[in-house]
Amino acid sequence: MGPRSPDVRRPARTAADSADDTLLVRRARDGCLDAYRVLVERHAPRAYRVAFGVVGRREDAEDVTQEALLAAWLALPTFRGDASFATWLHRIVVTRALNRRTRAARTSALDAVPEPADPARGPAEQAEQHLAAVAVTEAVAGLPAAQRVALVLYQFEGLSYDDIAAITDSTVPAIRSHLYRARRTLATRLHDWR
């Protein structure tokens, strides 16, 4: 997970996507595996990114994503539809990721995902870019869990305050506070990289 511009956010899902999800959930509840497969194909990439942002290791993120998707399939009969399927799945992913991180009690930094080499840049520039990416991932990994989750969901996944509050079972003011604190902490820790 390399550094990203603060303005780079994933496009929001549309109302049509949510309606499609509702139909797919209904069909999956009736036992249609193909419908659930489509839901998995649609939501697994974001679920993985969220898991990776929380746990910080590719292997753990893959495990969390698989566990969450299986748990969602098993719990689908209890899904009430109060929130969108995406919000419900992200809540499962975040909970499992935080549990895994707590169990593992890891304090190591995120595995830096190497950026592809830019042939136009020299070795010194490439090394500096890699060091900056490592600094950002370490700074994000060092945030308290609530701040890290809010930052990953908002900044990297483009979710709204309302969606994040629903996923984390929190409030919008609390999410805004977590984001403010996370950004302030990152600005302090990454001051030398400006």
Per-residue pLDDT at 35 exceeds 60: yes
pTM above 0.75, yes or no: no
C-alpha count within 13 angstroms, C-beta hemisphere, residue 154:
23
Per-residue pLDDT reduced to its tens digit, 152-193: 899 888 889 999 999 999 999 999 999 999 989 888 888 766
Contact 115, 75 (CB under 8 A): no
Question: Distance between CA atoms of 127 and 122, rounded to whole angstroms?
Answer: 9
Given this structure, which CATH class describes domain 122-194? mainly alpha
Mean pLDDT of 24-34: 92
Contact 114, 98 (CB under 8 A): no
Question: Distance between CA atoms of 94 and 102, rounded to whole angstroms?
Answer: 12
Per-residue pLDDT reduced to its tens digit, 84-117: 999 999 999 999 998 887 766 434 444 444 555 5
Provide the H-helix boundaries in the chain: 15-29, 33-55, 58-75, 85-104, 123-141, 145-151, 161-168, 172-189
Domain residue spans of the chain: 13-107, 122-194
Q: Does domain 13-107 match CATH 1.10.1740.10?
A: yes
